[in-house]
């Protein structure tokens, strides 16, 4: 980040760290730019203790399989990074297996999945 140290009273990841190639660097930068005494969304792996945790249940809605698959095919998240590391034939095979699981024998169309996220916070 191009901000000076202790510039902000809080930092938030907003469910994005899992999509970053180096989340440890992002957390270190969040820690650097948050003022002492400020509230930051940080991880224990950054060397902080007494981090409060919660596991909110979120609902993920998709218009169809392509809506679900597009972020993966574009390399986002750990599954997207794995997908990008495969050759074309393996990518196609993975797509078809995931599509079959997504459809579950039904027609393509809207799907809704529940997901549990890990949220942490710590006063710095």
pTM: 0.57
CA distance 68 to 103: 11
Q: Please choose, from the candidates 83, 73, 76, the residue with its C-alpha nearest in 3D space to the C-alpha of residue 17.
A: 76
Predicted local confidence at residue 75, as pLDDT: 93
- What tens digit of pLDDT does each residue of 12-53 get? 776 677 777 788 888 888 888 887 765 544 555 566 666 676
pLDDT (mean) for 100-106: 96
d(CA 63, CA 108): 9
The residue with tokens 């393996």 is 90
Computed from CA positions of residues 65, 99, 80, 12, in that sequence, does the dihedral angle turn out positive or negative? positive
Instruction: Read off the pLDDT band of 111 (50, 70, 90).
Output: very high
Q: Which of 66, 41, 64 is nearest to 110 (CA)?
A: 64
Q: How many residues does the chain have?
A: 124
Sequence spans of domains, the chain: 8-55+117-123, 64-108
- Which residues make beta-bridge pairs with 121? 52
111: left (phi over 0), alpha (psi -120 to 50) or beta: beta
Which range of 13-17, 56-60, 77-81, 93-97 scores highest in mean pLDDT? It is: 93-97
């Amino acid at each position: 980040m191009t901000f000076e140290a202790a510039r902000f009273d809080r930092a938030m990841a907003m469910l994005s760290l899992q999509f970053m190639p180096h989340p440890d660097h992002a957390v270190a930068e969040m820690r650097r730019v948050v003022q002492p005494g400020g509230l930051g969304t940080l991880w224990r792996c950054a060397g902080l203790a007494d981090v409060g945790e919660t596991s909110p249940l979120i609902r993920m809605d998709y218009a169809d399989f392509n809506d679900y698959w597009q972020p993966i095919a574009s390399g986002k998240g750990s599954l997207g990074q794995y997908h990008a590391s495969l050759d074309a034939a393996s990518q196609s095979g993975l797509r078809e297996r995931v599509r079959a699981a997504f459809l579950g024998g039904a027609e393509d169309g809207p799907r809704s999945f529940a997901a549990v996220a890990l949220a942490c916070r710590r006063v710095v």
